[in-house]
Amino acid sequence: MRELVPGGNLPLPDVALSLQVPGPFDLSVLITGDSGKVAGDGDFVFYNQRSAPGARLHAGGAGIDPRRLRAGASRVTVAISPADPGTALGRLPVPTLTVTGEGVGVLARFTPARPTHETVLLLAEIYRRGAAWKLRALGQGYADGLAGVARDFGVDVTEEATAPPAPPPAPLPAPLPPPAAPTSGTEAGFAALVRAERLRAGLPPVTMESRLSAAARAHAAVMAKQRRLSAESPDGISVFQRITAGGYRYLRIEQQLVSGPRTPGEFMDYCLTAEATRGPLHDAALSEAGIAHAVDARSGGFYWTALWARPFTADGLLRTTAEVLALTNAARAAAGLRPLAGDPRLAAAAQAHSADMAERAFYAHTSPEGRAPWDRAAAAGSGHRSIGENIACGQRTPREVVQGWMDSPGHRANILGEDFTHLGVGFAGGGPAGTYWTQLFGRP
């Protein structure tokens, strides 16, 4: 079983799935094709329409069988809303999604950050890559109810699709044309607000980085075109791949994908609403940022992408991998085991594998050419007779990734392997998941 973080993904076995979200929540499922839109209202499974081919709601969750979805379906998005429409998500327990495979047990668990003003939360999506299916954790919120989610996915919303009855909406203002690029005032205004807030909090300033803003601009435009928040475009390109394609390298990355705010000031208000949304703004380690918005010309809706980064440096990479080694040895010490020594050849092989996974957008112990961990270790000049490997993707910090490995029995067994004596660590940013980590263990 794997604990997922926002943006983390996991290959799924070819079996029927059960998704459980215990608590006072209503669960909804949206079935879409490559366009990101439903084929019809029958693709929206919610409390008034509880089943569709390959998807059925049940008490506390839903059953999803990717093999039985309608023709052309390539994505299933799972959302929750309060069972009591008058209750805000922020006043309810934090939801936890557990995904179980028929005959194979628990596959993954995901607990998003606590919602604040959001009324609907997109928890996860099950999506097809080639002939296989994968699971991605989302944790993205909507402030305008289930009807807003339905509209963004192309559902013809009626009064019955909204939980609480509401008066007819006021006419929308005339749609604004989507800007070809963010105005200098958008970025400059946001930079001034960030500078003032960081100063107030006693934190160092943030530099607005043009390559981050360019990636944010491209991604915001994609979301406006799709009319929904998503970490990927319909062609499978993630915001992280847009960043690295622009020549920017990072050691940490945080993204905020938001719809609704119309000005930099309103976006800053969103950032300050809760501890989770304040996180990047108040993180001293994140020293560079980029922001952009795009407008959906059909509805006038604003879609924002904010990127916060700790830029790559060679020294920073060494500190990052050294922290993974130190945390690994702390776990071994707690178990009464001797520490592992850093090994430059294992480190070179681990770093190359992390970089390869990020660059070629795969996640596996074996490379597309069939090279296994021991092959990579030998090619790097390692003389260790026994090799073990842990990999992970999506985790943002050394502490987060080591804790994730320790929570997984198979990865934990490598970390606490009594026979291992040496360790190499690799990290790379980019790819669909944003971060890729490798531990390569060896013994003489």
Where in 105-145 does DSSP place strands (E)? 105-110, 120-129, 132-142
Residue 26, pLDDT score: 87
Asked whether residue 333 carries a pLDDT value surpassing 50, the answer given is: yes
Asked whether residue 180 carries a pLDDT value surpassing 50, the answer given is: no
Asked whether residue 420 carries a pLDDT value surpassing 80, the answer given is: yes
Taking Cα atoms as reference points, which of 69, 70, 126, 129 lies closest to residue 97?
A: 126
pLDDT tens figures, 296-332: 988 899 999 999 999 999 999 999 999 999 999 999 9
Q: Quote the tokens at residue 374.
A: 């021991």
Asked whether residue 407 carries a pLDDT value surpassing 70, the answer given is: yes
Edge-first strand listing for the sheet containing 250-259: 207-208, 288-295, 302-311, 250-259
Determine the Cα angle at 240 with ends 136 and 209, to 5°.
145
Query: What are the angstrom distances between the C-alpha of 253 and each of 191, 248, 263, 312, 323?
Result: 18, 11, 23, 10, 17
Q: Which of the pair, 3 or 366, is modelled with greater confidence?
A: 366
Q: What is the percent of the chain where pLDDT is above 70?
A: 91
pLDDT tens figures, 302-312: 999 999 999 99
CB-CB neighbours of 162 under 10 Å: 16
414: three-class secondary structure by DSSP:
helix
Average pLDDT of the chain, as a whole number: 87
What is the C-alpha separation between 26 and 304, in angstroms, rounded? Answer: 27
Q: Which of the pair, 162 or 204, is modelled with greater confidence?
A: 204
Q: Which of the pair, 174 or 17, is modelled with greater confidence?
A: 17
In a 13 Å sphere around the CA of 289, the CA atoms on its Cβ side amount to: 29
DSSP string, 223-277: HHHHTS--SB-TTS-BHHHHHHHTT--EEEEEEEEEES--SHHHHHHHHTSSHHH
Residue 268, pLDDT score: 92
Asked whether residue 157 carries a pLDDT value surpassing 60, the answer given is: no
What is the C-alpha separation between 18 and 334, in angstroms, rounded? Answer: 36
pLDDT tens figures, 114-124: 777 778 888 89
